[in-house]
Amino acid sequence: MTAPNIDAPEKPLTSTMEDYLEAIFDLDQDKKVIRVRDIAKRLDVKMPTVTSMLKTLNDRGLVNYEKYEYVELTDSGASVGREMHRRHQVLFRFLTDILKIDHQTADEEACKMEHSLSVSTLESLTDFMQFIQACPRAGDSWLHYFEEFRKTGRTSQKCEACAKTFSCEINQKAKKTRKNKAASNK
């Protein structure tokens, strides 16, 4: 039998490991102590399954866990859990606020997506969400038009009508901005 190579690089975390760390992170926000049964209930798995994963995460230095004791994230585990929670929330908000996906489906889909997007893609998505909610050329009316497009499909007449409406709205906003600037310069 050969000894393990201590210089070998650590295997990347699996999506299941990330789900456990996120669940523990979330539970830690709500509870003073986290037990195996809390994690099992949150993830809808059996307690022996949780125990097995906790041993793996403990061996990797991501949790502190002793059999029949409470579970605690290490700094490294908390960092992963926090990032997975952040990713989940960004994706969930995009799916519900922008695409108008129902909450349950959005939660399930965000959970699947959070493991596969790169940091830069997630940041671009976050920037896009902020842009369409803040930019006068986008905003709520833009989201309304997008929802209408999804429901009725694209027709050139509708697009022309929306363009005219948009043009009027942007002109009104520009006039208001100029008027406010003029008033503040006095």
The interaxial angle of helices 36-43 and 47-59, nearest 10 deg, is 110
Tell me how far apart the alpha carbons of residues 162 and 144 are, in angstroms, rounded to a whole number.
11
C-beta separation of 71 from 63 below 8 A: yes
Class of domain 15-79: mainly alpha
Backbone angles phi, psi at 34, to 5 degrees: -115, 130
The interaxial angle of helices 156-185 and 139-152, nearest 10 deg, is 170
C-beta separation of 15 from 22 below 8 A: no
The beta-strand segments (E) located in 51-156 are 63-65, 71-73
Q: What pLDDT is stored for residue 8 in this prediction? A: 44
Q: What pLDDT is stored for residue 125 in this prediction? A: 84
Tell me how far apart the alpha carbons of residues 50 and 54 are, in angstroms, rounded to a whole number.
6
**Distance (Å) of CA 175 to CA 138, 171, 178, 183:** 17, 6, 5, 12
The beta-strand segments (E) located in the chain are 63-65, 71-73
Of the CA atoms within 13 Å of residue 46, those in its CB half-sphere come to: 3
> How much is the CA Rg of the chain, to the nearest whole Å?
24
- Tell me, what DSSP letter sits at residue 34? B
Per-run averaged pLDDT (10 residues), the chain, 186 residues: 47 92 95 93 96 96 92 96 92 89 94 87 83 65 72 67 70 77 75
64 SS3 class: strand
